[in-house]
């Protein structure tokens, strides 16, 4: 079937023509020797006469329909044939074994029992969408009930279209299409289908010929493939097309899987109407509404059956093996075919042609159609022969006459063979042959297809006049052998097809052929377009092709509407207002799940009419208003609704609305939007309505019964704060106690309005966030001022200040660390004034370094302020009785904004007060600070290669590398230059260099040559830093790791002692003790021409984080760390091996999963959602500097093999063009099912090679997976005994969202030490208990992924998660 779209014929006539599906056969006069269509397959009967298809509307009536072939025999000969006489099908001729698989054996229709009378009530909803319409609505006073009163509508289902459970009880047939669109799907409207009539040739043998049997009536009959096949000149082939009015659909093919498609329309309902167009009294059926079931019908099970001829089947099988080219597989990314091949069918069963089935859901009409089936001669060679004759006309002939003469000569050759019995050879070098046909590769192919054999013939052998000529020997066409029968039928089919092609050619070039006398033709063709258009209701007389109410031509040319026409199942040239309305409502009726999709496209057409200068009809505008009043919304409305609730990049939630967002989270976002609306005194009512409407839209789009129930309950009594206070007749400034007093008085005075009083009190409780009022509403008692519903032993949450969810996670994390919490507690309640007056000498400042550099008085002051605020927050988390604590704005600013950011901001404003600083304090002997690096809140990616920095204190900008279309970005968070000392691109605004305890480690150069020992190792190159434009409410916003660095930097400064007695304590601060370890870097350069000796450079450094690059799936935490500890990098323009080992490990091991990637093709960063497997325990023995060197060497070998195989597997299954086996299979399957393309230059050897390549790749993938699993086991077995350095998982930081630039953050903390198998989930103000299963779950397919893992040394009392005040301790003291 050709699915190319195009414009069908147009007509301005509005005349209504009923389809005449049952013309009386007896009234049609018969020509002598003619087999009329009514008896083409059997004698006409009363039962079958009523099923004859309609006549052509613009020609004299005749008994023709979808069976439309005439054969004139004079007189009709008798014959004996095994070919069964075909006959028209009546409903009672189909046995029970032919009932489609979708229909249960004990039922008479394919749908389960449903209500037979579907109500068609009006809808009474009045909640309207308040967006302005794109036109003036002042006129809209009519109703569209007359144009939307469709049969089988269900008010409950249409109102609750979003309810999947309700939809499942209705068994709707899914999306449909209208007749004009079906007509385009049946066959390309730019192509013409012709019904073919064949008359027995009046050809007699001449002269003495051997006895032969001319073609019989049956053979001439079968020259046309089937009574329901039509010739297509553009394909030079045939299309099977049949339409019928029957309540029983044709039998389904064995390969058709009904589970992949919606159910059939209700057969009981279809029985009630013979044809939608015939029922002039039922206005609810304006036209047909067809539903497509592709490749559903087996033509071999029809009555009469349709099978390809034996020679066609053989060619088809050969074609399937040969239809593959050496084209790029990227061009053929086909989906898995829906239809199984015959190889998948039960043994012994061979299907016929697979036909598409179109069933009208409103009446008994259905039609079946095939794809274009090629003729005997492929289209390519037909066109080549025609072109050759056009370009090489004989002398005295016009080019068009040359074409006709050439084809007529081929027809004459066939007629001479079949009807004159000529068996002589054809000399291809003869003058007549060369003049009328000519010899070429095309001609050779044509005769070869017809069974002619090219044989050489030698004249006067052995003499000087010896000459060899080629002759064509005709095939054996005697019917007494299978080969003869097949050759006979092929010549007859060629004869019919060539005559049909020639007749159509002569019509197109009639003017050029007016002086040419054509060869007698015994084949006639008639255009069948109008016939099948009228049969399916698509004729211009049935559905006009134009409308004066809007610029239809402009709509048809509108590119944005191309998908709209397909979605609604209409064509732009037939899209009158009533047809458009019918199409929209019918789609919503039959496919309610996609109601919003259909309304979106319907609204797009109406809006396009106005944008193109037209005026939408009153019916269209009225329907838009009615649909809006029923709660319909567009996809754009859905996006706006998400923004209203705070979703989106610029929304308050900084989170995209995705499918994995929990309903509870959505409900909370809605409540927050309502509360925010209440706080806007000016637009409170409108903002509240917008929030409610947005919540309804999102709830319906997600199909959530839970959210819709919540919305329904809340919408029963809408209340805003001003109305709530007005209802209770109190002012907004009264306290909770007086509110409760007034409430109880109102209830006592008017108990019948208690619901209204309670709703007002509930609103006030929400807007005040009053636990007291909420408790009263729940328990009915006033608890006083100290009510809390939060467990005393549960950790407290942190309220979000605005885009600070990741700061909340970080502060909660700090609070779980026992030693850090205790150290910070000493800074509580510091006198800020005293801090500002405190003086520090230059000697004090020079004596203390943090991060390898000097600090300033300004940094000391802000750090102590920060830690003091942090101590106060920790105190509240310990003693507060409320569910959550709100951090101060100052605390958030000090944590998120670095001191250097403040200085730059003040400098931009015209200077800063630096009276407390001196030149000495501002001189840094540590790293030169670079501006902020471009990054994301997820942290930056390490480089895969060039990522070592020997001079750790000198931050450099990232170096990029291209790999498989992506750029590996080296932008780790660098603050405390030791965090990731081997990485380039370490720039941070935290201004925190290495801790003051960083030892001066000498560079050791292990040279084989003594002369080289005197040389120093060259420094690694630096690059220019990059600038960030990221800002937020607190100033410049840094990523999570930079925020953590800034906080630890200030904690370390604030805890410094300047009395001269605490120098040792300062060098061993709590920050260094908890978070910092030491590693050793070894850079080994391989020998080169200019440097023949191997050199190794070493350096020891501190670290606080270990980065793991997250790019691909299939890796665990050990794999990620291995890539960090052993890699190949670029050094001085050459490859060098970078090895990192751990010298000392910190008590808290922080592993950063760097998920930010950069797409080289789109030039956009993206977040990797790859799953990285990790467990409750990690063993770091293998990464220690003291690890067994033998094991380490063996481990490197296995890891290298493992990496090689993983990379190969990735290329085959996950790369840009992967997966390759599926691509090969889909390409082969697709090309094997289409019949129009022939590739004679491709031999079977190539096809076999392609097939074997697919098998080889599949086998290789299986082998790779096995090897990877084995190598991974081997790698783990090497270190299975090394478990002395064990770390336990304590915290997991999560980022939820698909964007690397924004999203939602929360974190899990293990309940240590009391309940190590339980975890707490800190989600801003909510803290809940969860199981470890949730924490360790596979996140494949989810946008909520870990980005930071924290492990603590086993058997060390480092983390004490719950630190709450227990009043029982006071009681114990008293006793």
What's the distance, Cα to Cα, between the start and end of the chain in Å?
93
The alpha helices in 272-398, defined as continuous H runs, are 310-322, 379-391
Mean pLDDT of 866-878: 92
Q: Tally Cβ neighbours within 10 Å of residue 830.
A: 17
- Distances in Å between the alpha carbon of 290 and those of 231, 590, 1065? 24, 10, 84
Instruction: Output b/e per residue, 456-481; b: 16+ Cβ within 10 A.
Output: eeeeeeeeeeeeeeebbbbbebebee
Residue 614 has pLDDT above 50, yes or no: yes
Q: What is the pLDDT of residue 1187?
A: 92
Residue 642 has pLDDT above 90, yes or no: yes
Average pLDDT across the chain, whole number: 76
Mean pLDDT of 846-873: 84
Q: Which helix (H) or strand (E) holds 637?
A: helix 635-644
Residue with the bigger pLDDT between 230 and 845: it is: 230
Model confidence band, residue 1058 (pLDDT cutoffs 50, 70, 90):
confident
How far apart CA 951 and CA 943 sit, in angstroms, is: 17
Q: What angle do CA 1301, 1303, 653 make, to 5 degrees?
A: 120
Of all residues in the chain, the percent with pLDDT exceeding 90 is 36
The token duo for 1030 is 């990221």
Residue 262 has pLDDT above 60, yes or no: yes
Exposed, middle or buried: residue 13 (CB in 10 Å: 0-12, 13-18, 19+)?
A: exposed
SS3 letters across 848-879: CEECCEECCHHHHHHHHHHHHHHHHHHHHHHH
Decide if 602 contacts 584 (C-beta within 8 A). Answer: yes
**Considering only 223-232, 382-391, 552-561, 1306-1315, which range has the smallest mean pLDDT?**
552-561
Q: What is the pLDDT of residue 1128?
A: 81
Question: Closest by alpha carbon to 424, among 452, 447, 405?
Answer: 452
Model confidence band, residue 1236 (pLDDT cutoffs 50, 70, 90):
low
Of all residues in the chain, the percent with pLDDT exceeding 70 is 71
DSSP state of 1120: H
Residue 173 has pLDDT above 90, yes or no: yes
Helix (H, G, I), strand (E, B) or coil at 453: strand
* pTM for this entry: 0.64
Decide if 618 contacts 570 (C-beta within 8 A). Answer: no
pLDDT digits (tens, 9 = 90+) for 779-809: 888 877 544 457 888 899 998 876 677 889 9
- Distances in Å between the alpha carbon of 689 and those of 670, 693, 732, 938? 11, 6, 22, 36
CA dihedral 413, 417, 423, 429 (to 10 degrees): 10
Helix (H, G, I), strand (E, B) or coil at 209: coil
pLDDT digits (tens, 9 = 90+) for 417-432: 999 988 888 998 888 8
Omega of the bond leading into 304 within 30 degrees of 0 (cis)? yes
Residue 1185 has pLDDT above 60, yes or no: yes
The token duo for 1056 is 């410094």
The token duo for 103 is 């229909």
Helix (H, G, I), strand (E, B) or coil at 1334: helix
Residue with the bigger pLDDT between 408 and 110: it is: 408
Residue 316 has pLDDT above 60, yes or no: yes
Backbone angle region of 440, left / alpha / beta, with phi > 0 → left and psi within -120 to 50 → alpha: beta
Mean pLDDT of 751-765: 87
DSSP state of 1363: -
How far apart CA 1171 and CA 674 sit, in angstroms, is: 36
Helix (H, G, I), strand (E, B) or coil at 199: coil
């Amino acid at each position: 079937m050709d699915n190319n779209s195009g414009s069908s014929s147009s007509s301005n006539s509005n005349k209504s023509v009923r389809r005449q599906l049952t013309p009386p056969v007896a009234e049609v006069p018969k020509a002598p020797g003619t087999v009329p269509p009514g008896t083409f397959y059997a004698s006409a009967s009363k039962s079958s006469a009523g099923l004859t298809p309609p006549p052509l509307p613009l020609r004299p009536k005749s008994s023709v329909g979808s069976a439309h072939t005439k054969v004139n025999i004079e007189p009709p000969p008798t014959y004996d044939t095994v070919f069964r006489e075909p006959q028209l099908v009546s409903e009672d001729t189909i046995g029970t074994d032919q009932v489609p698989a979708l229909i249960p054996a004990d039922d008479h229709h394919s749908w389960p029992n449903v209500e037979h009378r579907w109500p068609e009530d009006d809808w009474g909803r009045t909640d309207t969408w308040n967006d302005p319409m794109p036109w003036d609505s002042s006129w809209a006073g009519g109703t569209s009930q007359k144009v939307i009163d469709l049969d089988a509508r269900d008010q409950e289902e249409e109102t609750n279209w979003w309810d999947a459970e309700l939809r499942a009880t209705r068994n709707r047939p899914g999306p449909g299409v209208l007749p004009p669109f079906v007509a385009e799907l049946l066959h390309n409207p730019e192509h013409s289908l012709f019904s073919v009539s064949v008359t027995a040739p009046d050809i007699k043998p001449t002269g003495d010929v051997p006895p032969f049997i001319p073609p019989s009536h049956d053979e001439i009959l079968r020259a046309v493939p089937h009574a329901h096949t039509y010739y297509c000149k553009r394909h030079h082939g045939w299309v099977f097309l049949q339409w019928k009015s029957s309540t029983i659909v044709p039998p389904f093919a064995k390969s058709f899987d009904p589970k992949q498609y919606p159910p059939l329309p209700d057969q009981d309902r279809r029985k009630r109407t013979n044809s939608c167009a015939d029922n002039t009294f039922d206005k609810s059926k304006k036209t047909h509404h067809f539903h497509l079931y592709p490749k559903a019908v087996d033509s071999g099970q029809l009555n009469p059956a349709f099978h390809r001829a034996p020679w066609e089947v053989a060619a088809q099988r050969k074609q399937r093996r040969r239809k593959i080219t050496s084209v790029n597989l990227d061009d053929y990314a086909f989906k898995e075919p829906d239809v199984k091949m015959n190889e998948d069918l039960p043994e012994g069963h061979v299907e016929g042609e697979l036909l598409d089935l179109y069933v009208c859901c409103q009446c008994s009409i259905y039609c079946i159609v095939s794809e274009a089936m090629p003729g005997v001669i492929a289209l390519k060679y037909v066109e080549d022969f025609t072109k050759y004759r056009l370009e090489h006309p004989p002398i005295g002939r016009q080019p068009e006459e040359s074409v006709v003469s050439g084809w007529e000569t081929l027809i004459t050759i066939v007629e001479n063979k079949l009807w004159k019995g000529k068996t002589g050879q054809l000399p291809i070098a003869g003058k007549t042959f060369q003049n009328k046909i000519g010899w070429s590769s095309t001609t050779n192919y044509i005769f070869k297809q017809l069974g002619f054999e090219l044989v050489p013939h030698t004249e006067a052998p052995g003499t000087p006049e010896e000459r060899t000529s080629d002759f064509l020997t005709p095939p054996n066409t005697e019917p007494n052998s299978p080969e003869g029968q097949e050759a006979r039928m092929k010549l007859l089919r060629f004869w019919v097809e060539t005559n049909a092609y020639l007749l159509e050619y002569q019509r197109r070039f009639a003017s050029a052929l007016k002086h040419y006398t054509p060869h007698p033709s015994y084949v006639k063709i008639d255009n069948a377009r109008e016939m099948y258009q009228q049969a399916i209701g698509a004729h211009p007389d049935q559905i006009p092709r134009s409308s004066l109410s809007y610029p239809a031509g402009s709509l048809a040319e509108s590119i944005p509407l191309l998908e709209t026409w397909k979605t609604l199942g209409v064509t732009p040239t037939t899209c009158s207002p009533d047809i458009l309305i019918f199409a929209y409502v019918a789609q919503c009726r039959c496919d309610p799940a996609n109601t919003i999709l259909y309304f979106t496209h319907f609204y797009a057409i109406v809006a396009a009419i106005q944008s193109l200068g037209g005026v939408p009809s009153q019916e269209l505008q009225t329907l838009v208003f009615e649909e809006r009043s029923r709660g319909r919304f567009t996809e754009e409305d859905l996006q706006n609704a998400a923004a209203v609730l705070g979703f989106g990049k610029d929304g308050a939630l900084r989170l995209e609305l995705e499918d994995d967002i929990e309903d509870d989270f959505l409900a909370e976002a809605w409540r927050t939007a309502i509360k925010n609306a209440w706080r806007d005194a000016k637009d409170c009512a409108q903002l509240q309505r917008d929030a409610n409407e947005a919540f309804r839209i999102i709830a319906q789009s997600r199909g959530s019964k839970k959210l819709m129930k919540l919305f329904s309950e809340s919408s029963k009594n809408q209340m805003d704060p001003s109305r709530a206070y007005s209802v209770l007749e109190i002012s907004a400034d009264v306290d909770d106690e007086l509110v409760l007093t007034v409430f109880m008085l109102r209830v006592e005075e008017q108990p019948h309005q208690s619901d209204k009083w309670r709703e007002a009190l509930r609103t006030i409780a929400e807007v005040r966030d009053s636990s007291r009022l909420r408790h009263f509403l729940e328990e009915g008692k006033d608890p006083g001022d100290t009510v809390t519903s939060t467990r005393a032993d549960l950790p407290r949450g942190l309220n979000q200040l605005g885009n600070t969810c990741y700061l909340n996670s970080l502060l909660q994390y700090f609070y779980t660390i026992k030693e850090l919490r205790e150290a910070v507690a000493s800074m509580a309640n510091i006198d800020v004034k005293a801090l500002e007056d405190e003086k520090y000498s230059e000697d004090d400042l020079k004596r203390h370094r943090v991060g390898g550099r000097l600090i300033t008085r300004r940094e000391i002051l802000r750090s102590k302020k920060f830690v003091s605020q942090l101590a106060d927050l920790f105190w509240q988390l310990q003693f507060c009785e409320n569910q959550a604590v709100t951090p101060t704005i100052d605390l958030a600013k000090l944590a998120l904004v670095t001191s250097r950011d403040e200085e730059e901001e003040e400098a931009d404003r015209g200077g800063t007060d630096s009276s407390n600083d001196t030149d000495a304090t501002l001189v840094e002997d540590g790293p030169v600070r670079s501006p902020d690096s471009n990054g994301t809140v997820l942290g930056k990616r390490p480089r895969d290669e060039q990522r070592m920095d020997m001079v750790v204190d000198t931050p450099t900008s990232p170096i990029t590398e291209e790999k498989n279309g992506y750029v590996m970005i080296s932008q780790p968070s660098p603050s405390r230059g030791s965090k990731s000392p081997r990485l380039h691109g370490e720039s941070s605004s935290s201004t925190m260099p290495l801790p003051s305890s960083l030892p001066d480690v000498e560079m050791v150069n292990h040279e084989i040559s003594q002369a080289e020992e005197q040389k120093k190792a060259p420094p690694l190159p630096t690059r220019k830093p990059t600038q960030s434009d990221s800002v937020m409410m607190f100033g410049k916003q840094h990523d999570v790791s930079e925020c953590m660095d800034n906080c630890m930097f200030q904690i370390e400064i604030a805890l410094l002692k300047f009395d001269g007695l605490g120098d040792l304590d300062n060098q061993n601060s709590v920050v260094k003790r908890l978070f910092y370890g030491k590693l050793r870097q070894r850079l080994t350069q391989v020998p080169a021409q200019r440097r023949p000796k191997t050199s190794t450079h070493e350096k020891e450094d501190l670290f606080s984080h270990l980065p793991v690059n997250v790019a691909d799936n299939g890796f665990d935490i050990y794999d990620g760390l291995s890539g960090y500890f052993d890699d190949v990098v670029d050094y001085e323009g050459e490859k060098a091996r970078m090895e990192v080992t751990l010298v000392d490990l910190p008590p808290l091991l922080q592993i950063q999963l760097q998920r930010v990637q950069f797409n080289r093709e789109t030039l956009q960063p993206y977040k990797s959602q790859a799953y990285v497997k990790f467990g409750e325990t990690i063993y770091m023995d293998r990464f220690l500097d003291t690890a067994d060197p033998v094991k380490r060497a063996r481990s490197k070998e296995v890891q290298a093999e493992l990496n090689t195989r993983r990379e190969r597997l990735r290329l085959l299954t996950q790369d840009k063009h992967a997966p390759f086996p599926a691509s090969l299979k889909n390409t082969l399957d697709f090309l094997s099912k289409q019949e129009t393309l022939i590739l004679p230059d491709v031999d079977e050897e190539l096809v076999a090679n392609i097939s074997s390549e697919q098998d080889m790749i599949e086998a290789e993938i299986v082998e790779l997976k096995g090897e990877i699993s084995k190598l991974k086991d081997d790698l783990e077995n090497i270190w299975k005994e090394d478990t002395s350095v064990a770390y336990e998982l304590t915290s997991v930081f999560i980022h939820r969202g698909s964007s690397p630039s924004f999203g939602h953050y929360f974190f899990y903390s293990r309940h240590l030490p009391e309940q190590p198998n339980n975890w707490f989930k800190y989600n801003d103000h909510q803290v809940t208990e969860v199981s470890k299963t949730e924490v360790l779950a596979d996140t494949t397919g989810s946008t909520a992924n870990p980005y930071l893992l924290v492990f603590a040394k086993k058997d060390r009392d480092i983390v004490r998660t719950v630190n709450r005040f227990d009043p029982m301790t006071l009681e114990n003291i008293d006793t």
